[in-house]
Amino acid sequence: MMTRTRLAGAAALAVLAFACAAQAQTSTPSAPAASAVDPRCAALLGLRSPHVRIDAAMTMKPGDRQPIDAFGLPALPVSTPYCRVSLTLTPVAGSEIHSEVWLPAAEGWNGKFAAMGNAGFGGSLGPPRLSMRPALARGYAVAATDMGHVEPGADGKTAAWALNQPERIIDFGYRANHVTAAAAKTIIAAYYGHAPRLSYFQGCSDGGREALMAAQRYPDDFDGIVAGAPGAAWTRLMTSFAWSWKVAHQNPASRLNAANLNRLQSAALESCDALDGVKDGVIEDPRQCRFDPASILCSRDAAQGCLTPEQLSAVQSLYGGPRRGLTGAALYPGFAPGGEAQRAGWDLWITGDAAQHPDFARSFFANFVFNDADWTLDQFDFDKSFDMARARMAQITDSDNPDMAAFKASGGKLLMYHGWNDPALPAEGTIQYFEKIRDVMGADETDQFARLFMVPGMGHCFGGPGPNAFDSLAILDAWVDDGSAPNRIVASKYANDLAPLLNMPTGPTLSTRPLCAYPAVARWKGEGSTTDETNFTCAASTER
């Protein structure tokens, strides 16, 4: 689970290759011209604070290269001058947290602070650096942490660091972001001469889990929080990953190939795409969809990619979600239909030979829960193993407490979103959590401080066939700073979905669509272009 998934690998590198090639045509790859070191930046090396060590304070100038150290990406050019502070935090014995704080020049600072969430199991500062760059360019002082452990080159995909390491697990669960925020505010005040006027947190996937954890455990740390595709019920989510292995990998006859996924997606869209009156390759509200994958059994359907009985059982189980072994009680939602074959879809996360769900599940249960590096998924029991994970880890890793009274009382605002086509984290899980907040806090009370936006066609944190790009930090800032509560967000579909993530030109806008505050959904007015958001209105869902 990446902050922005795996940036679709080769596509991201292609974007960067183009950018680097373009830059090479206009500049010579030599060391940047020397300029005066920012004395206030250098002075931060002398800053003293309990359990905080400043390891480096570097003046970064336009033309310098900022290392990313994630997803195989090269160092990216600096466009905004800033002070890059590296620090180590040791709040307790057995804890060593590495963090960075980036401080724009005083004349470019907007007076605000934004912390960025990590990805997967953390282990480096690479993934959050991608989110830090655009926020820095807009004047924010920004910070992020490696979550309390170092796994070079792993891109958050392994939890070997957690084996018999209870303090590291606590750092990952909730402590690392809290102590990083406190240290960052101290550094910001020392550099600028005063504290930030407003503080925000932004994260997606595990970063979304971290975001909700901040709101629940530390309601005074941030004035506003963005939680995208949050893995809030972490122990249940990891159980659903083990379910993916059980139903789609354990029996070779149940394996789904590319032809199966293409046929499955085509049949789902044929059944449900036009339910909203617009046939656009996107299911607006999959809860309305009553697609039955049995319709493409090979005994009924001769098309390439038809399903065998074993494959049908796997698909039905993936749509249905994990269940207890003894009672069949649901443990977590399944996946929505309509995005099975999209890029970075089920093949990457669930069904492929190198699918990420099984790896995440094995690593979590082996190292977090059972403290046994040799533990394997064929030992998983959907009663005993699940209950053990809940008993040992839920209080540390799970951020699905629906009681947000303290965060609301502090004046905090919470902006949540989730893509319906997310192949990594089932979107319905976020709806279930938000409904629990409404049940506990009351729908009207919740509306005063928290909004959820479901994104049709969006994959894991970004991308997908539908309009999926929007500036969540700007929307949150308008809500917190100006009181403009979001009821409708305009999302755009660009020619290159990856460009906004890399703070690069997006190319032409292919379409726009409103995202509506849950439980409303977008409805076409019946006239005008279906690629123009002005021809849609937000209306009550007709969920069946």
Q: How far apart are CA 79 and CA 76, in angstroms?
A: 9
Classify residue 517 by its DSSP letter: B
Quick one: which of 1, 3, 360, 369 has its CA closest to 169?
Answer: 369
Specify whether the CB–CB gap between 164 and 367 falls below 8 A: no
- What amino acid occupies position 17? A
Q: Are 281 and 273 in contact (CB under 8 A)?
A: yes
343 to 156, 258, 468: CA distances (angstroms): 21, 11, 14
Q: Is 247 left (phi over 0), alpha (psi -120 to 50) or beta?
A: alpha
Distance CA 511, CA 529 (A): 10
Residue 49 gets which letter from DSSP? Answer: B
Catalytic positions, please?
205, 422, 460
Phi–psi pair at 287, nearest 5 degrees: -65, -20
In the structure encoding, which two tokens stand for residue 10, read together?
């080769």
With 0-12 / 13-18 / 19 or more C-beta atoms within 10 angstroms meaning exposed / middle / buried, residue 266 is middle
Separation between Cα atoms, residue 163 and residue 189, nearest integer Å: 37
Contacts of 380 (CB under 8 A, 6+ apart): 242, 245, 246, 361, 365
Geometric angle at alpha carbon 177, from 129 and 86, rounded to 5°: 50
Q: In this structure, is the dihedral angle defined by the CA atoms of residues 125, 237, 174 and 177, taken in order, positive or negative?
A: positive
Taking CA 409 as the corner, what is the angle to CA 405 and CA 414, rounded to the nearest 5 degrees?
A: 75
